[in-house]
Chain A
């Protein structure tokens, strides 16, 4: 869990509804696109509201971790990266990658989303290489490996694939669209602790 990073942490502990959402909305306004906000709250109802508010406001609800009395919600500020033009020539779709994983092919899958996105839900065996840390971690990868790059919608992975290619990696494939539509197996932490609501 130590690799669960947020750009900004907001403390709403002890506050009752509607304050956690009121403060979250303000904090979100000051965040840059794509950044992750961690909201700490003790109001049990905040979880459902975070989910519903994210949906209605277009932000990405990543998940909630319960630590004793404290709920930690993770939200990612919405971005319009869905509409960017993809430049990396080598692409593969979700289903084809799924087949390769099922067939146990000798491939490397790297997930370039934020660590908080990865933690809640990712492809088993995918390695977390958040886009902005990629440059520092290039030496952890082999230049000859068959590397599949995945993100949420295929744009951050496009940038990452370009960067890898520039750095001499020869066999880099962008996975399109990525986790937003992924139907294969995943793993991650989901809801921990608390009362089971169905």
Chain B
């Protein structure tokens, strides 16, 4: 039997379409337990590759023959070895091209809506890590929001759409992933917008993103006015696109809310977080479609793979928006928090321009799941 290759893009389609897949993950148990490929109808077997060096006989019975089988490891090498052994034993299996490293870096663009006068908004789903970034396109111009460090994907996408990137925006100083914002702005001569309260320590020039700013992309106005929304960070800013979409950053997700502790200020910022979610957001139109910067679990994906929901619907079903008691809210967002993201301090310093790790180090820093929310 030949060994097949599956790309991250193909696995993403499997996730979006709720297809079945059997994943043999040959990384360490601790790596597997920390972070794996998630899918609605995925089955898993985790056996580290180094336990299979003498042969795969012991696991043959556990591998189904009536399902697609994908062997996964960190960087590909071990999964190729194990896939070949399984193939020699008569099974039809695939390995994941580039391993979890490629999975972590894969971005899938999904159109989330139309804007005035022919504009469009795309969501870039970083399926392996739960990060969401955006591109607003209108009349040959584009804005990129909360870009990841895989900057070529946005640059190529804009070029294919015949648009020039004019504005690059980060809703806040990210702690879980390295922002591609500055690089994109440099390469395209675009304006780089950052909330000034998150940018007090940055080492580069930026345009302060504040209440009252209006950014125009082609025919589309991105309205930033009155949406300063602190809580996840002190500067966190949300904004409406075309009065139709609400880019909520790391403040409000579909099934969870932002955590206030990643800059070491949980106690200080819990009040801001509550004010933002329970007062400022309440004053907005319930018809706005919320587009967050993350998803936590695969259940949050819509049928087309996008992540979005009407603000009104979130007021009803998001637990974090329905805690009447302030103390209870305080407890939820300051106690029993999930572990902090891998290397989050170094990530923040990188995003401030204080340190300049190389590509391998950046990958290493970002490894693992997203952990920006509390449920």
Contact = CB atoms under 8 A, between A and B. Distances in A.
Interface of A: 16-19, 21-22, 25, 44-45, 48-49, 52-53, 56-57, 195-198
A25 B29 CA distance: 19
Given A16-B75, A45-B75, A195-B343, A56 B51 contact: yes
B364 A17 contact: no
Contacts of B342: 197-198
Given A18-B81, A52-B30, A196 B50 contact: no
A22 B343 CA distance: 30
Contacts, number: 57
B283 interface: no
Nearest to A48: B28
B365 A195 contact: yes
Contacts of A48: 28, 30-31
Nearest to A17: B77
Contacts of A52: 28-30, 48, 50
Contact of B48 (A22, A25, A56, A198): A56
Given A44-B364, A49-B50, A52-B28, A16 B346 contact: no
B53 A25 contact: yes
Nearest to B48: A52
Interface string B33-55: 00000000000000011110100
23 contacts: A16-B77, A17-B49, A17-B73, A17-B74, A17-B75, A18-B49, A18-B50, A18-B53, A18-B81, A21-B49, A21-B53, A22-B53, A44-B364, A45-B74, A45-B75, A48-B31, A49-B48, A53-B50, A56-B50, A56-B51, A195-B364, A196-B343, A198-B340
Contacts of A45: 74-75
Contacts of A18: 49-50, 53, 77-78, 81
Interface of B: 28-31, 48-51, 53, 73-75, 77-78, 81, 339-340, 342-343, 346, 357, 360-361, 364-365
A196 B75 contact: no
Given A44-B360, A53-B48, A198-B342, 14 more contacts: A17-B73, A21-B50, A21-B53, A45-B74, A45-B75, A49-B48, A52-B30, A52-B48, A56-B50, A195-B361, A195-B364, A196-B346, A197-B342, A198-B343
A45 B365 CA distance: 13
A172 to B, nearest CB: 41
A16 B340 CA distance: 29
A89 B360 CA distance: 56
Contacts of A21: 49-50, 53
A197 B78 CA distance: 23
Nearest to A198: B342
B360 A25 contact: no
B152 to A, nearest CB: 24
A56 B74 CA distance: 19
Contacts of A49: 28, 48, 50
Contacts of A19: 77
A19 B342 CA distance: 26
Nearest to A16: B77
A49 B30 CA distance: 10
B50 A25 contact: yes
Nearest to A56: B51
A48 B343 CA distance: 16
A44 B343 CA distance: 15
Contacts of B75: 16-17, 45
A197 B51 contact: no
Which 4 residue pairs spanning A and B have beta carbons closest together? A18-B78, A52-B28, A53-B50, A21-B50
Given A195-B343, A195-B365, A198-B342, A17 B78 contact: yes
Contacts of A195: 343, 346, 357, 361, 364-365
A177 to B, nearest CB: 27
Contacts of A17: 49, 73-75, 77-78
A78 to B, nearest CB: 15
Nearest to B31: A48
Nearest to A21: B50
Nearest to A26: B53
Contacts of A196: 343, 346
A49 B49 CA distance: 10
Contacts of A197: 342-343, 364
A53 B50 CA distance: 7
Contacts of A25: 50, 53
Contacts of B77: 16-19
A190 B346 CA distance: 21
A140 to B, nearest CB: 41
